[in-house]
Structure 1
Amino acid sequence: MENQTSKRDSDTAVAEIDLIVNKFGAPLEDIYKLAISFYRERKQSCELMVPYEKRLLFMAYSKQVRYGPYDAAADDSGWFDFIGNDRM
């Protein structure tokens, strides 16, 4: 049963990726890089004001992109220390 759920979740993720690629006409990696670039440029010029909670969500997504999904078995020191990351 768990294997079927995992396969269904995987299929859903692939379908979502296909929808994004079809909508924007570029590979997901390129879209992600463009989105990060847009966010950083607008943030520096103060054109984009993002609430703190949303910035935390962006940081969580960014960590997933960089390191993969959270793995409880791995060393998690600092994984969820978003406040500490803000101090850097």
Structure 2
Amino acid sequence: MDLHVDDNGIAFRHALYCLVEDHSYTLDPDPVAERTVESIRSQFFSDDVRFERGNGTLERPLDTVVRRTETSLDRQSFLESG
């Protein structure tokens, strides 16, 4: 999103991107951004993870399976219109 702020107020312009992998409108990831994100995320997937912030503590890797469900947990599967 681009914002333009001046004495007359705020004007903005934006573009919507589809964030679903392999969709025809999904942009290819920026290689530098992808490497940066992966280098930061990698510490949370290690076998010896300890992360504390505020009232939250991460005691196991983020990809640890704790439960399984037969029902899809995608947003569209449980939001109701109206």
> What is the TM-score when the length of structure 2 is the normalising length?
0.27
Higher helix fraction (1 or 2)? 1
- Structure number with larger C-alpha Rg: 2
> What is the TM-score when the length of structure 1 is the normalising length?
0.26
Higher strand fraction (1 or 2)? 2
